[in-house]
Amino acid sequence: MSQLVVVDGDIVDVEEAHVSVLDRANLFGDGLYEVIRCYSGCLFELATHVSRILEGAKALGILHDWTSESVELAARRLQAETGIMEGEMYIQLSRGPAVRTHYFPKIQSPTMFITLSPVRPIPEGARTVGTSVITCPDMRHGWCHLKTVNLLSNCLAKEKAARHGVWEGLMLRGLDRSALPRTVEEYCDVPGELSGARPGDDVAGWVTEGASANLFVVKDRRIATPPACNILPGVTRRIALELAELAGLDAEERPVAAKELLTADEVFLTSTIGEIMPVVNIDGHLVGAGEPGPITKRLAEMYTDRVASAVCQ
């Protein structure tokens, strides 16, 4: 069976799905998106994701007739029609097509489409043995709290990670340098920003997040994650903080200096697809003992239980 998608409320074959070349998501990145994990046919935290995209649309002044109920209904209809049980759903809402002008059109015709595909593979052992990451400059705009489709900088960070054979690119701001890279090669092919540093060095800058994940560091059993400023505060990030509180762990939101990555006992990432993923190597430096730590393992187990509980409802 060909892939089914929802376009403006109608379920059609992907070959019949059309979005205008003048859509402002295409011309200006003027749109928002969400990614939702489907476990055993259950769209995990669907209401939370739908609420976020509609709140983002309000913040950006995207005028539409969608409600939480109608978006959730369309999402569930698509899952039922496709029959995909283990997958990832993508929802995109844009300001829609208009004559190409930078200012917003007086009359908006927003576009929403929803896709559901089998879940992308995670590297074998990434959640149990741990994964490696590389650091890179954060060149994004200042509205990172909105999940917009302006993802070129995120794509560059992912490309850098791929070229170096690691899972994720961690983005740093406030670096001690006179200019940012000007070509893909200058950005992607050079070593990570911390590759030449040693624990204890006074490294400039602070970490914001990964290209597609939020970051947590653990030191002396205390958990820290960058605050919701110049980051996208993810749904899985929120759940991880809730689980830490339930477990009686000390967790806080605060700026995380880049140099902390070199001395952390544990580091882990959170994301819809990657869930809670331990990081054991950053720019060639082992994190702790080079294996997932007890706090990361505990939170990952609790997350698995949370998912199981939601699926069984």
- Which residues contact residue 250 at a Cβ distance below 8 angstroms, ignoring those fewer than 6 apart? 221, 222, 223, 244
Q: Catalytic one among 106, 147, 158, 219?
A: 147
The DSSP code for 119 is P
**Among residues 308, 225, 273, 235, which one has the least CA distance to residue 42?**
308
- Structure tokens, 174: 């406030």
Q: At what angle do helices 235-246 and 46-60 cross, to 10 degrees?
A: 130
- Measured CA to CA in angstroms, residue 156 lies from 186, 194, 269, 272 at distances of 11, 18, 18, 20
Torsion sign across C-alpha atoms 119, 228, 93, 48: positive
- Structure tokens, 135: 């650091």
Assign 275 to helix, strand or coil.
strand
Catalytic residue check, 147: yes
Catalytic residues: 147
